[in-house]
Amino acid sequence: MKFILFIALILTCFTGFSQPNGGATQNDLQLNTITTALPFMAITPDSRAGGMGDAGTALSPSSSSVYWNTSILSFSEKKSEISLSYTPWLRQLTNDIHLSYLSGYYKINKQHAIGGALRYFSLGEITFTDASGNELRQDKPSEFELTGAYAFKLSDKLSIGVNGKFAYSNLTGGLTVAGVNTKPGVVGAADLSFSYYNDKVKFGKTKGVYTFATTLNNIGNKVAYSDLSQRDFIPMNLKIGNSFLAKFDAYNDVVFSLDIQKLLVPTPASYNSTGDLMSGKSNDVGIINGMLQSFYDAPGVVATDAAGAYIMNPDGTYEVVKGTRFKEEMAEINLAGGIEWWYNNTFAIRGGVFYENKNKGNRQFMNIGASLKYNMFGIDFSYLASLNGRQSPLANTLRFTLRLYLGDKPATKDAN
């Protein structure tokens, strides 16, 4: 019982922290959401991290690590695992959008592990119409992503991982719009990951396992859906995760996980009514420049006078309200935290929260979940409750994951 009360107390603290604050810090900033192509590549696919506020970067190895952090597979105690996840998506808006995710890994020996994943996203049935509202045809747009993964242990506590990805996004089925032929979006991308894993840590009198991990995800080409349309960035992001597995006794383990996440995509600049750049930077840049620019390109708030007109500096630039650029950069950092309690490595309950600034997407939600293991099988379940009320399209999201453990003993053969 004391473990359950402790988890409930921590979750209450997280929930309070995740509530949006009023005051100048929030009200100074304008709505300036960063959008990308192929956003399905950044949707959490599994129920374990999905039940811990999407704080999955530093969680213990599993087949879902191919999405979160491939490098952690080097420390797996199991030789192999396969899992299948299913998520009905945006059920507040429609009932036929869903995400399916098949993933697995195989530990070759102490140093090397390989893995793979297939992600499929169906947008349901859509009716295409012309400008007059006449029906052209019905279609079922879909997207998929194929991932190959490799992890290599550098030492007893350090490892690196790399993923290669191919993604295909067919949203229009080749439909001609206003005389312009559309085409599918095709992406080649990579993930890089690093883990520090220490299984001989003590926190006070409690023994446990500490993990630090960082990942760069979806580093890939920009996408256009026609020859005339603008090419958009895919959801490249940086994640920094910490977790601590506390081994209280032979039956009770508690995992604490915290993630810091940031999109590595340029922030939309501020333009006036005639299209002149007032503040920020153009996003018409390459991939690497875009990733670097994402750390310092927030436009902030352009100052106005009593009449509401924008204030210009003597050099012809526009005046920006002091401090708002830094505030907006900080607003682009998302926080995720979760707690998980395992009993006898058989049954688990978990919970967590996710916070995103209201001016950058306003995803703020709380998760709960549970797991049950029996012999070679495991099943996970999670539920998402939006902290913004029932009007959020993410409200009441469910995730299901079925796991198959194919080897309980770690690989022992040394690398050649």
- Mean pLDDT across the chain, nearest whole number? 88
DSSP codes, 336-382: EEEEEEEETTTEEEEEEEEE--GGGT--EEEEEEEEEEETTEEEEEE
What pLDDT, in 10s, does the model give residues 332-341?
Answer: 999 999 999 9
Query: Quick one: how far is CA 26 from the chain centroid?
Result: 23
Calpha distance 29→358 (Å, rounded): 10
Extents of the domains making up the chain: 2-129+136-267+335-407, 271-331
Contact partners, residue 385, CB within 8 Å, separation at least 6: 365, 366, 367, 368, 395, 396
Task: Give the SS3 label for residue 127.
Answer: strand
pLDDT tier, 408 (very low <50, low <70, confident <90, very high otherwise): low
Contact call for residues 399 and 85 (beta carbons, < 8 A): yes
Q: Do the Cβ atoms of 257 and 241 come closer than 8 Å?
A: yes
Does the pLDDT of residue 275 top 90, yes or no?
A: no
pLDDT, mean of residues 191-198: 98
Contact 215, 191 (CB under 8 A): yes
The least confident of 163-172, 388-397, 398-407 is 388-397
Map residue 138 onto helix, strand or coil.
strand
Pairwise pLDDT comparison (142 vs 22), residue with the higher score? 142
Which whole number is the average pLDDT over 382-392? 86
Give the separation between CA 225 and CA 184, rounded to whole angstroms: 6
pLDDT at 9 over 90: no
pLDDT average, residue stretch 85-110: 93
Predicted pLDDT of residue 204: 83
Q: Determine which of 317-321, 399-403, 410-414 has the lowest per-residue pLDDT on average.
A: 410-414
Are 92 and 396 a contacting pair, CB within 8 Å? yes
Predicted confidence at residue 392, as pLDDT, reads: 82
Binning the chain into helix, strand and coil, the percentages to the nearest 5 are: 15, 45, 40
Bridge partners (DSSP) listed for residue 263: 237
| DSSP secondary structure letter of residue 70 | G
pLDDT value at position 16? Answer: 38
Q: What is the pLDDT of residues 240-272, one digit of tens each?
A: 999 999 999 989 999 999 999 999 999 999 998
What pLDDT sits at residue 230?
87
pLDDT band (50, 70, 90) for residue 43:
very high
Query: Which of these ranges, 11-15, 172-176, 182-186, 347-351, has the smallest mean pLDDT?
Result: 11-15
HEC string of 193-219 equals EEEEEEEEEEECCEEEEEEEEEEEEEE
Question: Is it the case that residue 17 has pLDDT exceeding 70?
Answer: no
pLDDT band at 357 (very low <50, low <70, confident <90, very high): very high
**Pairing mode of beta strands 158-170, 185-203:** antiparallel
Q: Which CATH class is domain 2-129+136-267+335-407?
A: mainly beta
Type and span of the H or E element at 8: helix 2-18
| Confidence class for position 368, pLDDT limits 50, 70, 90 | very high
Q: Measured between alpha carbons, how far is 361 from 393 in angstroms, rounded to an integer?
A: 12
Q: What local confidence, expressed as pLDDT, does residue 291 receive?
A: 97
pLDDT digits (tens, 9 = 90+) for 282-295: 999 999 999 999 99
What 3-state class would DSSP assign to 72?
A: helix
Query: What length is written for the chain?
Result: 416
Instruction: Quote the CA–CA distance of 165 and 106 in Å, as a whole number.
Output: 18
Full-model pTM: 0.87
Is the confidence at residue 146, as pLDDT, over 50?
A: yes
Query: How far is 380 from 44, CA to CA, in rounded Å?
Result: 14
Predicted confidence (pLDDT) per residue in 209-245, tens digit: 999 999 999 999 999 998 888 899 999 999 999 999 9
